[in-house]
Structures are given as structure tokens and as C-alpha cells.
Amino acid sequence: MGGIVLVTGGSRGIGRGICLELAKRGYSVAINYAGNEAAAQETKTLCEQQASGSTQRFVPFRADITDGAARETMVDAIFNTFGDLTALVNNAGVAPLVRADLLDMSEASYDRVMGTNLRSPFFLTQLVARRWLQLESSTQRTIVFLSSVSAQTASINRGEYCMSKAGISMAVALYATRLAAEGIPVYEVRPGIIKTDMTAAVEATYDRLIADGLVPQRRWGFPEDLGKTVCALLSGDFGFSTGSIIPVDGGLQIARL
């Protein structure tokens, strides 16, 4: 296996879990982070400890991906550092700063969440795909978007988050259609309730709900669950499944009576 993978928001949470699983399977990783350099360096160290090959490299790249110029600078730096890029994992995302009723949502919160969760990965993917199509190479290339069960589950106290993730689902469908003939599969990985710092504030609430059966498998999801799923998609074993939505939610969205 192997290759070079850009993971946005790779310094912590789900992003870190993805980076670590990639390291175990022989990939080199470009670890994007917005501002927490210490966390990014910690991810790098953990990846080095998990690495399965001596030629693997793990390099943090600081870039605010909501900024177009920063995206371009980062992609140039990654190609200059590694010589290539074989996969893009659009993981970076934010939750609303305040969980407000839909009737009280502010435009500022809407713009922040939509800008980070939807606009940024859409245009980063555009940038990377254009670059790939300029290359004459038989290298297998893959794009993965991380969305959320919130893409189809309404939460009226974080509507901007739900809309951003629903938009990701359409972005996957669009890019999968556009890039299919180019041999570049595009997938959506849809996490459920995952134990990260983003869910720490509501941990007790979800502990109770999970115990009561909200999640049929009756446990939290963990970042490594997402990492394993991403690695499976990058392996090429799902090469005829572009545009697929892969739920990683313990059965949360199964329709039940």
C-alpha cells in the first residue's frame, strides 16, 4: 500500500484518528492544521510511532483552508515536499459556537460554519482535482469527504451545521460525476456520534442516549473507526463505487419502530 494523503484538520479528533490509521498502513501524510501547532506536532509524533515503513513521512502544514490563497500555498508546498499527492481527505470542520434555536441563528454563525465545512472543502477539492488532471500519471487518486449523520438528520439548534453537511453530500455527488471518467473515485464517509473534543460538552447526554438504545451497537464511535473506513476506501477495493455514502454510525440511522 502507501501513497501521500492530505488530511485537513488532521491535528486532533477524527482527523488525527485518520492520520494514525494511514500511518499504520504505510501512507505518508500531509497533516493540515489551522492554528494549533502543538497538536499537529503531536499527531506527527504519534504517526511516526505507528508507521509501518521507513520511507513514510509525516509533515504538518499550517493553513486556514477558508482562505483561497492559503489553500493554494499549502497545495504547492505539499507537492514541493512530497513530489505528489495521491489522496485528499476533506475532514476539517467546525460546530456552531453557540447551539441556538433555528429562529435565533445568526448570519455570522451561518457564514462561519458554511465557510469552513462546505465552501472550503469544495474549493480545495477543485484545486487539487485541477492539479491532478494536469499530470500525466497512472497513479490511483482518491477523494474522501467527511460529512455527518446531520446531513439527513435535522437538529434545529444547529441548523447551519446540518445544512453544511447536507451540502457536502451534494458536493460528493457532483465531484463523483465530474471525475468518474478521469478515474478518480469520490466518496462520502458519514460519521455518527463520535467521541472527540467536539462532542465533549455533550458527553453525558450522549452516554445516556446511547445506553438507552439510540445507537443500536450501543457504543460511541471513535476516530479510529473513521480512520479504518478511510483506509478501506483508499485501498482501491471500492473502485467501482464512486459517489457512495459510507455510514460509520453504529446503526444510528436505521429506521426503527
SS3 of residue 143 by DSSP: strand
Average pLDDT of the chain?
97
Q: What is the pLDDT of residue 182?
A: 97
SS3 of residue 245 by DSSP: strand
**Largest Cα–Cα distance in the chain?**
54
Average the pLDDT over 208-235 and give the result. Answer: 98
Q: Give me the sign of the Cα torsion angle 24, 245, 206, 112.
A: positive
Other C-beta atoms lying within 10 Å of the C-beta of residue 54: 5
Q: Which stretches of the chain are DSSP H helices?
A: 13-24, 37-50, 68-82, 107-114, 120-134, 159-179, 203-211, 223-234
| Alpha-carbon span 154 to 162, nearest angstrom | 7
Cα–Cα distances in angstroms (integers) from residue 83 to residues 69, 121, 133, 135, in the given order: 20, 22, 15, 12
Q: Is the pLDDT of residue 19 over 80?
A: yes
Pairing of strands 4-7, 186-191: unpaired
Q: Is the pLDDT of residue 1 over 80?
A: no
* Residue 33 is among the residues annotated as catalytic for this protein: no
Average the pLDDT over 97-111 and give the result. Answer: 97
Cross-strand partners of 177? none
| Alpha-carbon span 227 to 238, nearest angstrom | 16
Q: How many CA atoms lie within 13 A of 188 on its CB side?
A: 24
Query: Which burial class, exposed, middle or buried, applies to 103 when counting CB atoms under 10 A from its CB (0-12, 13-18, 19+)?
Result: exposed
Among 33, 161, 175, 187, the one annotated catalytic: 161
pTM over 0.85, yes/no: yes
In this structure, what C-alpha cell is assigned to residue 83?
513530489
Average the pLDDT over 197-213 and give the result. Answer: 92
For residue range 36-91, list pLDDT tens digits in order: 999 999 999 999 999 988 899 999 999 999 999 999 999 999 999 999 999 999 99
| Alpha-carbon span 5 to 56, nearest angstrom | 11
Average the pLDDT over 23-47 and give the result. Answer: 98
| Alpha-carbon span 142 to 191, nearest angstrom | 19
Amino acid (one-letter) located at 116 = T
| Alpha-carbon span 84 to 86, nearest angstrom | 7
Q: Is the pLDDT of residue 143 over 90?
A: yes
Q: What is the pLDDT of residue 200?
A: 85
Q: What is the pLDDT of residue 227?
A: 98
The domain over range 4-248 is classified in CATH as 3.90.1010.10: no
Counting residues of the chain whose pLDDT is more than 90, the rounded percentage is: 94
Q: First-to-last CA distance in the chain?
A: 43
Residue 68 near residue 123, CB atoms below 8 Å:
yes
Q: What is the pLDDT of residue 52?
A: 87
Q: Which residue has the higher pLDDT, 53 or 243?
A: 243
Average the pLDDT over 109-123 and give the result. Answer: 98
Q: What is the pLDDT of residue 137?
A: 85
